[in-house]
Amino acid sequence: MQLIMEKTAISAMYHLVQEGEKNSGVFLEEDLQAFIVYALLRNIRNNALKDFVFAEELLSAIQSMSIKRLEVILDHALIYAGMYPKRVKKAGLSKTYYCDIGISASEHLSVYHAKLRSSYEEVYRKIAKQFDELVYVLKSLIIPDTVQQYVHVQLRRY
């Protein structure tokens, strides 16, 4: 991965997503690229992400039909599945836990927007269908443990 030098955070994130596409061999439509970019930007400083209780939040959001909460759950599920895949194993969850949560949130959002006859229905339906591909693009950006350990050792020397 090369150093990203862009004028705005948005263009830097697009560059990052495109790098992920190239690394993974998965090429997404523009609306799906945009979804990843803005999910990352919305959560770039989210320190509370690690304390998020996914299944409980999902059930509560579905019961109250809270669109905002479903959108937050979808963002968090994507980020966790793509950027923190080892946390599933640590927590003793199924391998598909975060993907299942993200797909469910996206499907509920699609249904909600279908009732409104909103164009977002199509986007959320696509996200649900291609959630695994979105995750794969993010996973391709993760630095392997051996490289990460080497970098940390080198940084300690300075």
pLDDT category at 5 given cuts 50, 70, 90 is low
Residue 2 included in any domain: no
Q: Which domain holds residue 134?
A: 9-156
How many domains is the chain built from?
1
The mean pLDDT value for 87-101 works out to 88
Give percent above pLDDT 70 in the chain: 83
Interval 139-158: pLDDT, tens: 998 865 544 444 444 445 44
Name all contacts of 56-64 with Cβ < 8 Å and 24+ positions apart.
Answer: 58/101, 58/104, 58/105, 61/105, 61/108, 62/104, 62/108
Residue 66 included in any domain: yes
Residue 27 included in any domain: yes
User: Rounded distance, CA 21 to CA 2, Å?
Assistant: 14
pTM of the model: 0.83
